[in-house]
Amino acid sequence: MTSKRFFIRKSLIGKGVIVEFTNNKGVVTKYDHDLAYEINKEKFEAMECFKKYKSYTATNNIPTFAKAAIVE
């Protein structure tokens, strides 16, 4: 799946999705959606945006807390 931003969506959890996103500087990053969620599950579940919209996004880069989910 390709995107212009980092995101975690409840609807994609458990589906084995690898996301490739290009930030506004043209840097391409691939990450394992499920791994990013699992590593930070408590953090996401506590976020108001995740509760309300069932998603979390970051436009400019992969968040530091999710860098362990980067795949080559």
What confidence tens digit (pLDDT) does each residue in 26-45 have?
999 999 999 999 999 999 99
Residues of the chain with pLDDT under 70: none
- Cα 37 to chain center, whole Å? 7
Q: What is the pLDDT of residue 17?
A: 97
How far apart are the C-alpha atoms of 13 and 16, rounded to whole Å? 8
Q: What is the pLDDT of residue 4?
A: 92
pTM: 0.90
Q: What is the pLDDT of residue 2?
A: 95
**Residue 33 burial (CB count, 10 A):** 22
For the chain, what percent of residues have pLDDT higher than 70? 100
| Secondary structure element (H or E) that encloses residue 48, with its range | helix 48-53
How far apart are the C-alpha atoms of 44 and 49, rounded to whole Å? 9
